[in-house]
């Protein structure tokens, strides 16, 4: 191990060593006193004989002890540390986790602050020929500092790093570190994180020299993990706010929960959540105008960012729906059961109705495809794709129950007689699938939302199941322009603001403004959504608000991970110390204290 010094300038105090020796060379000044006899003073006669100011340096254990004590004190002031097996010419890649969980205050000042202190020590231990890259990993990966050996530059880049409100996503940062260190000698990757990341199971560790520096201690935390608002199914002008409170710790935690509409308190209750469990809450509130519902946990836990959630809620109005069908009693009945839906039925569609918010095509082929949002059921030909043949009795093997369209929708015991065999466009996501083709899909393209059902419900048992009218209600909500939208922190937001390219001012939750240019067709694409709260985009008199939340159960489970699972077999255990900073001055200071006590004992024993 190599020994280095953090304060080598303290060696200047070594000039005090000869001062101690000089004190022992100086003769004591004696005061003359008249006495009747010197018989009792014989032991001091030799010292009083010399007349010179300096005496001969004699062997003295007190002098030796004091010199050793002073030398150890000076050595401790230089702050020596052991640099392990470090070699010069290293290439260091430091990945700093700046996700929401790094704001946890279970350590002082918080996890990010502790990680920055440790990285600062790593920077201090660099040799002149070493280079370091600083990568920030949150919702997105950012190279904050390109390779450099300049310590002031690295410290400045580190000091500017701030935590975001986005979930932990370490995979892209680890892949980038792997690319940067490929074919480099003496390359090291240092990850400073609490390890809360769910995307590393697809990464194979291979030959990456990865050191995981775990940050954080405790894991007690309550957090809002889901929040949504839906129209009350029975009461007009009433909204139902659904929330889930998660507790990933091993202790039962309780908190008061408050619900605000704007700045007005509309509901409050007490919730207690058992260990590793969740609790569901439902609030009902009146709403006459557009606004934001904000839920607040009044909990003094380690992570504050998941104690707040906001959702935009638009005042309910009648949605105009146009049903183009030759006759379908099940579909018509399901549509008429949807609250605030103004339904019009026609047998054919020659020209799209511009006043309709949603167009439902039931096994018909219109002459002109609707330009607005559309629910296309068993269409034979669209301007998206052309079906290629028919599937006989395809089984349903999978469906995405997490999508808003399939909320509370179950396809168990649903049989199909036949379905269309089609290949979806890239902008559509399959939601219900058979072994060979998708059966139901949804997506958004050029500002138009579309839901496609690849079979006729009348050729199935689906209309006889309760999931059918639930799906229709979900589809009308998803296709309705009056549905409030919220996003996860770090996700991009896209909305059409104008008919041509223009500048839109986006106000962030902290009050700062960010001018953003729309695309040529007037679409606003905004990606700087790393703060939780309400964003407002303004273009002239046109204003659009949207909410950004954390709402991530994995991120709210803030217990630091002892090891990282990379791929199927790769594991990296956490290290608790840095080879670049094993300071020894504390042990030297304790040794000084021991010598000081021994010197005190020896002096009094000698003079007793």
How are beta strands 358-362 and 319-324 bridged, if at all? parallel
Output phi, psi for 261, to 5 deg.
Answer: -115, 105
Q: What is the pLDDT of residue 30?
A: 60
State pLDDT tens for residues 253-284.
999 999 999 999 999 999 999 999 999 999 99
- For tokens 């996890």, what's the residue? 111
Q: Quick check: 489 pLDDT over 60? A: yes
Question: Cα dihedral sign for 50, 51, 57, 59?
Answer: positive
State pLDDT tens for residues 126-147.
888 899 999 999 888 999 999 9
Q: Quick check: 80 pLDDT over 50? A: yes
Kindly report the number of other CB atoms within 10 A of residue 39's CB atom. Answer: 7
Report residue 392 CA to chain centroid gap.
47
C-alpha angle 322-329-449 in degrees, rounded to nearest 5: 35
- For residue 429, give Cα distances in angstroms to 85, 399, 445, 450, 525: 52, 11, 12, 10, 20
- Closest listed residue to residue 213, CA positions, set 132, 114, 315, 137: 114
Q: What is the pLDDT of residue 176?
A: 93
571 touches 203 (CB < 8 A): no
How far is the C-alpha of 456 from the C-alpha of 462, rounded, in Å? Answer: 10
Output phi, psi for 172, to 5 deg.
Answer: -65, -35
Better-predicted residue by pLDDT, 494 or 96: 96
439 touches 432 (CB < 8 A): yes
How far is the C-alpha of 555 from the C-alpha of 97, rounded, in Å? Answer: 12
Confidence band, pLDDT 50/70/90 cuts, at residue 51: very low
26-40, 68-82, 193-207, 531-545 — most confident range: 531-545
State pLDDT tens for residues 342-382.
899 988 877 656 678 899 999 888 877 887 899 999 986 66
31, 35, 37, 43 alpha-carbon torsion, rounded to 10°: -20
Output phi, psi for 28, to 5 deg.
Answer: -75, 140
Who's near 65: CB < 8 A, 6+ residues apart? 595, 598, 599, 602
**Percentage of the chain lying above the pLDDT 70 cut:** 87
Which class is domain 91-218+560-578? alpha beta
State pLDDT tens for residues 535-551.
999 988 888 888 999 99
- Closest listed residue to residue 216, CA positions, set 99, 92, 339, 373: 99
Who's near 444: CB < 8 A, 6+ residues apart? 427, 450
The reply to whether 222-307+551-556 shares the fold of 91-218+560-578 is: no
State pLDDT tens for residues 152-175.
999 999 999 999 999 988 999 999
Better-predicted residue by pLDDT, 441 or 522: 441
C-alpha angle 599-605-608 in degrees, rounded to nearest 5: 135
Q: What is the pLDDT of residue 523?
A: 81
Identify the CATH assignment for 222-307+551-556 out of 2.60.40.10, 1.20.1560.10, 2.30.30.90, 1.10.3720.10: 2.60.40.10
State pLDDT tens for residues 410-424.
999 899 999 999 888
405, 411, 415, 420 alpha-carbon torsion, rounded to 10°: 30
| DSSP for residue 416 | B
Fold for 319-479, please state it.
Answer: Rossmann fold (3.40.50)
Average pLDDT of every residue of the chain = 85
Q: What is the pTM of this model?
A: 0.67
All structural domains of the chain with their residue ranges:
3-81+585-607, 91-218+560-578, 222-307+551-556, 319-479, 490-548
State pLDDT tens for residues 523-532.
888 989 999 9
* Least confident stretch, 38-42, 291-295, 507-511: 38-42
How far is the C-alpha of 414 from the C-alpha of 439, rounded, in Å? Answer: 12
Q: What is the pLDDT of residue 2?
A: 59
């Amino acid at each position: 191990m190599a020994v280095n010094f953090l304060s080598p300038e303290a060696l200047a105090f070594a000039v005090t060593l000869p001062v101690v020796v000089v004190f022992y060379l100086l003769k004591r000044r004696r005061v003359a006193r008249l006495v009747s006899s010197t018989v009792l003073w014989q032991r001091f006669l030799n010292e009083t004989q010399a007349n010179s100011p300096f005496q001969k340096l004699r062997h003295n254990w007190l002098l030796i002890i004091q010199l050793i004590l002073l030398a150890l004190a000076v050595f401790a002031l230089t702050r020596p540390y052991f640099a392990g097996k470090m070699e010069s010419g290293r290439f260091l890649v430091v990945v700093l986790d700046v996700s929401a969980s790094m704001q946890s205050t279970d350590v002082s000042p918080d996890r990010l602050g502790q990680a920055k202190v440790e990285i600062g020590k790593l920077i201090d231990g660099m040799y002149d020929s070493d280079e370091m890259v600083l990568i920030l990993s949150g919702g997105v990966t950012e190279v904050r500092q390109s390779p450099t050996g300049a310590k002031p530059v690295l410290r400045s880049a580190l000091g500017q790093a701030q935590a975001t409100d986005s979930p932990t996503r370490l995979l892209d940062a680890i892949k980038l570190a792997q690319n940067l260190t490929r074919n480099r000698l003496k390359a090291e990757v240092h990850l400073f994180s609490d390890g809360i990341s769910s995307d590393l199971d697809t990464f194979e560790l291979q030959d990456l020299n990865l050191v995981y520096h775990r940050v954080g201690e405790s894991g007690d935390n309550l957090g809002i993990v889901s929040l949504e608002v839906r129209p009350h199914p029975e009461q007009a002008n009433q909204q139902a706010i659904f929330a889930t409170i998660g507790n990933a710790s091993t202790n039962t935690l309780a908190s008061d929960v408050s619900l605000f509409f704007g700045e007005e308190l509309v509901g409050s209750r007490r919730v207690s959540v058992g260990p590793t469990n969740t609790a569901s809450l439902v609030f009902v509130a009146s709403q006459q105008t557009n606004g934001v519902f904000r839920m607040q946990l009044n909990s003094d836990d380690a992570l504050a960012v998941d104690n707040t959630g906001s959702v935009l809620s638009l005042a309910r109005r009648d949605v105009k729906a146009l049903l183009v069908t030759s006759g379908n009693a099940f579909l018509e009945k399901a549509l008429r059961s949807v609250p605030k839906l103004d339904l019009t039925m026609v047998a054919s569609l020659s020209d799209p109705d511009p006043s309709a918010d949603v167009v439902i095509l039931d096994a018909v082929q219109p002459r002109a495809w609707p330009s607005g949002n559309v629910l296309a059921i068993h269409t034979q030909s669209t301007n998206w794709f052309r079906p290629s043949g028919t599937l006989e009795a395809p089984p349903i093997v999978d469906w995405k129950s997490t999508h808003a369209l399939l909320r509370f929708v179950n396809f168990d015991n649903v049989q199909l007689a036949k379905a269309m065999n089609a290949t979806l466009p890239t902008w559509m996501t399959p939601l219900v699938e058979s072994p060979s083709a998708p059966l139901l899909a949804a997506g958004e393209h050029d500002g138009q939302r579309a839901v496609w059902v690849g079979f006729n419900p009348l050729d199935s048992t689906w209309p006889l199941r309760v999931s059918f009218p639930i799906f229709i209600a979900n589809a009308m909500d998803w296709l309705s322009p009056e549905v409030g939208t919220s996003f996860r922190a770090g996700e991009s937001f896209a909305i059409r603001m104008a008919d041509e390219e223009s500048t839109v001012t986006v106000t962030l939750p902290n009050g700062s403004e960010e001018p953003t240019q729309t695309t040529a067709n007037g679409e606003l694409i905004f990606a700087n959504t790393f703060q939780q709260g309400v964003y407002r985009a303004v273009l002239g008199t046109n204003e659009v608000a949207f909410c950004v939340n954390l709402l991530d159960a994995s991120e709210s489970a803030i217990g630091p991970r002892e090891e990282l699972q990379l791929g199927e077999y790769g594991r990296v255990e956490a290290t608790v110390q840095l080879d670049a900073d094993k300071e020894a001055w504390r042990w030297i200071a304790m040794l000084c204290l021991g010598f000081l006590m021994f010197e005190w004992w020896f002096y009094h024993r000698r003079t007793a």
